[in-house]
Structure 1
């Protein structure tokens, strides 16, 4: 049984993330979407909110499990007995960073492979940061995120504007 992990912040999850998740499901027997709880960053959504949104938008994928984690990715992979880490690449700029991370992870856990999937060209420009910026200015984000995420993001932005 091939168990893989697709880690990320998913703040919020976009169609680009879903593209990688859906394609990874075809490769792996079990795909664990690891939602990073990174105390060094200030995410818009709590880890619980991100897990909830991911559960909603992946409920049609029977071999996907959504789990929060913190600490080192290789430690999380070992705890979950994962064979492989999946990483998405949008552009050459992603590759440089992701290659460094893959090499570091290999040094820390040589038994865990990293596999890169290139994002569908339709989503190659898309990032959570861009989506949040568009939403902050009241722009239409329907082409970038699923409806459940759009609702949550718009509600979060309304709350932020009131503060």
Structure 2
């Protein structure tokens, strides 16, 4: 049974993330959405809130498990007995950032990485941009699931 872990802060989960997850479900038997605590990034939503939002958004995908973690990704991977990390790449800059991390993870534990670009119409969507637009009262409904849009609008009301 094939398993992949898709890690990130997911603050918030966007349509771009959903696109990558949907496609990962066609490639892997099981997908773990690994939501990082990552308090250094000062997330808009707590870890528990991000987990709850992701579980609600992804409820129709039985092969996706949503789990939180803190600490090193490689430690989480070992706990899950997983050998493949999934990362989304929107641009060359993302690749330049992700490649050394993938190589480090492989050197530490032998974990391999798979990179997927989002669909072209979603390639500009980033959680940080969604948060900024939402904080300024802009339209975000096309960028995130309705559950996430509602949560963002309440957060920045």
TM-score using structure 2 length: 0.98
Tell me the equivalent position of 1:119: 118
SS at match of 1:40: helix
Query: For residues 3 and 116 of structure 1, what CA distance do their matches in structure 2 show?
Result: 15
SS at match of 2:113: strand
Matches within 5 A, 1:61-140: 61-110=61-110, 112-140=111-139
1:150 offset after TM fit, Å? Answer: 0.2
Query: For residues 124 and 8 of structure 1, what CA distance do their matches in structure 2 show?
Result: 17
Q: Is the 8 A contact 1:87 1:114 kept in 2?
A: yes
Q: Is the 8 A contact 1:86 1:114 kept in 2?
A: yes
Q: Is the 8 A contact 1:34 1:68 kept in 2?
A: yes
Count of residues in Structure 1 that have an aligned counterpart in Structure 2: 157
Once superposed, what is the RMSD of the aligned Cα atoms?
0.7
1:28 offset after TM fit, Å? Answer: 1.0
Runs of 4+ in structure 1 off by over 4 angstroms are none
Query: For residues 73 and 23 of structure 1, what CA distance do their matches in structure 2 show?
Result: 22
TM-score using structure 1 length: 0.94
Does residue 25 of the first structure (1) align with residue 25 of the second (2)?
A: yes
Does residue 145 of the first structure (1) align with residue 125 of the second (2)?
A: no
Tell me the equivalent position of 1:36: 36
- Unpaired stretches in structure 2, ≥5 consecutive residues: none
SS at match of 1:102: helix
Query: For residues 105 and 71 of structure 1, what CA distance do their matches in structure 2 show?
Result: 13
Q: Deviations over 1:91-112 (max 9, x none)?
A: 11100001011011111111x2
